[in-house]
Structures are given as C-alpha cells and as structure tokens.
Structure 1
Amino acid sequence: MRAWVFATAAAVLASSPAQAGESACWFEEGTLVVPAVVAGAAGDYILDTGTARTILHDTRAQAEGFEQTQLTGEVRVAGVVLRERPVVVEGLDARTYAHPTPIAGVIGADVLSGFVLDVSYSPCRIALHRPASAPPTRGAVLPMGRFGHLPLAPAGVTDGVRGARGPWILAVSQPLPARLNEAVATVPGAAKPEELYPGGVWTAQLAGLSFAGQVAPDVQAGLLRQAEADGALGAIGSPVLSRWTLRFDFPRGRLTLKEQGPPLGSDGPR
C-alpha cells in the first residue's frame, strides 16, 4: 500500500510543449466523453480522473495497425498536446458497450495530473490550465491527495450500523455513485459476487455517503478490487460528483466544488 500524501509541489509537465485549452464534451451513460487524438487515433474518448492510465481500445488499436499492448505516442485533448506519452492497449467492451457511439479509449489521470482540470457536467465542458495560469474560481475547497496520478478526497460511508471515513478516489466518469474497496466491504448473500465489480450488472446499497458536507442516503454501490483501490476506501462516481462544477488542482493538492445541482440528500445522487 502506498502512503496517502497531499501534493505539495508543482507537478512536472511533459518535456514536450503543452498548451492549455478547453473543450466541449458530452455526458452520457454516466461518463464524460471528449474528442481527442491518442497515438494518431482520433475519436471519442472517455475522460476519467479515476483511471490511472491513458488507454487505446484494442479494437481501435488493431484498426490503426498497432499490434503492441504498450505504446508511446502523442496525446491531444482540449488544446493540449503532449508528446511521447505512454499508452496502454486493452479491451474496453465491458465499459463502453452501452454507449451509442464507438469509444476509442480513455484519457486517464496520467495525462490530466500535470494540470489544473476544470469539469462541468451541465453544460458539459472541460478545461486544462497550466499550473501558473489557471483563472480564479470560487467554491468550497477540500484537500486533495493522490495515489500516483489518481485524485483523492475525504468522504464517509455507512451501512446503517457501522461507518468508515477516509480517502476516496474521485472518478468523474464512473457511472455508479460509489464502489467500495473489497478489503473493507462485503455483500452478504450475493449469489454472484463477481457481478458487483466493474463490468458486472449487479449493485448493492449503502445506507449513506457523506461528501463535501452533504449526505446522500440509499446510495447504489459496487465493489472495487483492492489492487485498484490501493489504500483508498473506494471510488466516488459521476452520479455524486455531477452536482458540482469541479476544479482538480493537481499541482497544489486542492479540490474546489461549486454547487451546480440540488443537494445530495434531496433526491439522492443523480
């Protein structure tokens, strides 16, 4: 397990030129989708702070003539150009089957974490700023730690009898409100527990989730592999996060939230 630490120093950008910019996106099937180019493959990509690595869908990689599972190539997204970036080739069918249009891959936290990232779900828009040139913003501010490139913020959860509080991965394109680390949660009586993991079709229910000073009751949840969660309690997804406009200030270790939707407890997470 890696230690949970708050970022205190400016992140180092790629050695190649990187221009800050913004892009329209669309929010569908619980995910943020943006136009991007990865290793020369232009298309629609999921943008996710909760995915550690940038991914090219294996079917798209094959169509582009790539046979390797590990690539190095240029990434273009929201006006940013990063050269010589590592790209993983893997299947994404379990994650993208419900999308009405083909998904070429995922823009992961490894690309995003050198910037200040602004995310708005409605209207859907994302922006990447160089650390020293991000415009001012207002909202509630939380400390933001990291596991590698993945952003973490404190949150609490209860099953109605017991509770736990600690760091959670913030996954802007996780369609489920919450996934709990399998090391801290079980689902007694589940006939097919494997279906509670990403790619499965079942969910369980939490009595409550508290985040950013608000409490959401009766939250749908699944499980997360311990290797993916590391020392985090789990991952918080878009049905919770989409009620705010979010600023992920990776270099300074801060998360800013500006209210955009109804309180979490009003109708539950969206």
Structure 2
Amino acid sequence: MAKHDRITRPCLFEACYSQMSHELTQKATKIKANFTWDDIVMSKDQRQALEYACDQMRYRKQVYEQWDYNRKYPYGRGLSVLLFGAPGTGKSMCAQVLANALNLELYRVDLSKVVDKYVGETEKSISMIFREAKKCNVVLFFDECDTLFAKRSDDGGSSQSSNNNKTALLLQEVEAYDGVSVLATNYKHNIDPAFFRRMKFIVEFQFPDPETRYILWNTTIPKGTPLAEDVDIRFLADRFEFVGGNIKNCILNAAFLAAADGSGDEVHMKHYLQAIRYEFVKTGKVFTRSDFEPYAHLVL
C-alpha cells in the first residue's frame, strides 16, 4: 500500500468477502454491481421507496437491538423488494444499484440450475441457496421470479401440489432470510398474492413517457461520445417509444456504426436512426418511412 493510500469502505467490504467460503456459485451467478443512483432514471416516489429500503438495512442494528424492536419483531427482519414492469425498464439495473448502495455482493439466481423435474429437487436447491447466502450476507436476485413464485392452486393434481410446496417454501425462506432478496418480474399477475403481503417494498417500473425517454437518452450516452451537431435527441425521445433497454442497445450500436464507417469520427443522427431501425427489425416491430420523417432520407 502506498504511503497516502486510504482504505475505503468498498475495499474493506471486498476484502471481507474474499475471506468468506460458500457454494452459492453452484446455483447463482455473481454480478458486478457497477450501477449507482446516478445511472438509473426513475420517479421521485420510486427512488424514495428504494432509499427507504436501503435505510432498513443500514439502521437495523439501531432499531432492532438498541431500540429493542427485536422482541416484537423477531421474524422477517431482512429486506425483501419486489420489482415489476415491462422488460427493459430497469429492474435488473435497480438490483445492482441496491447492492452497490449497501456495499453487498449481488448474486443472480440461475433458475435453470434450480428448477428440476424430479420431485423434491427444486426445494433442495431453494434451501441450499438461502443456506449459503446466510453465510456471506449477499443480495439474492431472482429475475423473472414468476417461474418460481407462481400462484398456488387447489386443483388437487400432484404436479400442482408440488408447485404449491415450492411456492410455500420460497415464502418461508424469503421471510426468514436476514439479508436482501430482490425479486423481479415482467408479469405481476403471475405472482402468488401471498408474496405481496410478505414483501417489504414493491416498486413498479412503468413504461417511460417522452420526457423520461429524453432523460434516458441523455444520461445513457457516455460523456466521451463525439456527438455530432446534427443529433436530435428530442426527436429520438418523442418519436420512438422505447424502454431503457432498447435505448441502451441503440446507443451502443450507433457508436459501433459510427466507428466502422469512418465519417469524421463522430456519431451522427444517421447512426442513431440506423441503430433504431435494427432494433425494430430485431424486435419484429413494423415501421414505415413516416416513422423516421423528417430524417427518413438518412436511413431508408
């Protein structure tokens, strides 16, 4: 260590995690939490709810132990957050922001390694995930969680009975986990209603309006981008009804298009329009010349 180097909190947490032993990687993938509050675009109410969520982890020792709340709240002292909304609206990014804000490692549960056709095996995997997570205090991220947290049924079939058992076990494990559980789904109506009662925070990610899209375009384009003067961000935001994920794709693809064609080493309006056209083709969306007017001559 150099003479004037300082030990920062993130470095200290990283060093602590390096000394921990667990087997989470058998069922989950470690995700580098690079995003911060400055990277995510959300409403004031959304951000406030998530900041409150972080505060429940930061100050739980004070509330539960110093203020004696642990006597009346002996169970369910962890943090559970349900995020729902259309694909590409920022749910996965939000999981990274929460982990980053709390200086915790983030593990995305690999559902392909959890869900098993053999009776009882899925339940074993679920129990193993939470058992290992308790050893190292990490954020567990269940993306597309409706695969596991499906609505229970009373139709009496053996298959449905097995699904009900999985859901019941997950309810118990999430509530018993003292760490952070983040659940994300594109389809809120597929989630068992019991989860809504057990979640401490539920945040909806809505489809962005034109003003939000304008902010997304401006904040997602890296500051080092050699942006040409002909780029009309307002037009892009107003005309094309994209979510953040689509916008992110278009921005990156436009940069590569500009780098490849050597047109003055700048990213021009035509590059963004070409990237948008490719995004339409990729997603199967039908478009016409009028969608790009008055800039259609640059791309069609």
- TM above 0.5: no
- Rg (Cα) greater in structure: 2
More strand by share: 1
* TM-score (ref. length: structure 1): 0.23
More helix by share: 2
* TM-score (ref. length: structure 2): 0.22
